[in-house]
Amino acid sequence: MRYKILASMTMFLFLATAVPAMTLDGSCNIRFFGQSTLHGFEGQVACQPFTLSSEGDAEKIGIIRQPVIKVLVGEMDTDNSGRDKKMHAMFEQDKYPQIQGLFADLDADVLLQQLQTEDETPGQLEFDLKIREIKQRVQAATRDLIVTAEQISFTMEFTLSLTSFQLQAPSVLGFIKVDDQVQLEARVFLRRH
């Protein structure tokens, strides 16, 4: 009996470790668009490179455990040094140098099915956005999903309210002020090993 239990445990451990792990190298390019009293503006930032690991096989990616995507506030650029300085100060860059996208466990294969709609209806992807110490649920629309043997890519779009994160929009001379709503667009690339 003892031998059977030991043999069963050995077989279970073998099967558990025999499931191949898939690794995905991730990157994303983010563009953001805002309006001010005088005119609109846009900026860009790249998220920090990240690696996702999952258990899957040749056909399926499997479960990805709680991905975290990070953006460095100091790398956010609107091509206007004065505006960038005010923007970095608004985020309190010295105290909170990162903005984070926090995801729950993702079943990648189910997620890909949800994102790949047959009509023009965008897919949906939910995550928590953390700015300074405030975390809020975001529902991003997804589009332009491309899946190849080497890479998965898609675009996420969502709007955020500065005041909902207790951010005070920058102003110039007290009357030129940035609007509360900011549009974001992120192109995400996941490259398979």
pLDDT tens-digit profile, the chain (193 residues): 333 333 333 333 333 333 446 788 999 999 999 998 778 899 999 999 999 987 666 556 778 888 999 999 999 999 999 989 999 999 999 999 999 999 998 887 777 777 766 666 788 899 999 999 999 999 999 999 898 889 999 999 999 999 999 999 877 655 568 899 999 999 999 998 7
CATH code at 119?
2.40.128.110
CA 74 to chain centre: 18
Domain range for 38: 20-192
For residue 113, being part of any structural domain is answered with yes
Backbone dihedral angles phi then psi of residue 2, each to the nearest 5 degrees: -60, -40
Overall number of domains in the chain:
1
Nearest to 73 by CA among 116, 114, 30: 30
For residue 13, being part of any structural domain is answered with no
For residue 9, being part of any structural domain is answered with no
Of the CA atoms within 13 Å of residue 103, those in its CB half-sphere come to 17
Nearest to 165 by CA among 134, 124, 189: 134
Q: Are 73 and 97 in contact (CB under 8 A)?
A: yes
For residue 71, being part of any structural domain is answered with yes
